[in-house]
Amino acid sequence: YTGARNDERFPAAQTCYGNLELPNYSNIDVLRARLVHAITCCETFGVA
């Protein structure tokens, strides 16, 4: 998804469809940091 302040957003997953939505990050390092944080620190899910 696109928009302002994408570097502060986390990836979103649609587990029913196997989709991973990634914001348009400014660089690969931000992508890596947000993805690793989401995988290691987020054990639950919610409805957006």
Integer-rounded Cα Rg, in Å, for the chain is: 11
Decide if 16 is catalytic.
yes
Q: What separation, in Å, do the N-terminal and C-terminal C-alpha atoms of the chain show? A: 14
Identify the active-site residue in 16, 39, 41, 48: 16
What is the C-alpha to C-alpha distance for residues 40 and 2, in angstroms, rounded to an integer? 24
**Any idea which residues carry the catalytic annotation?**
16
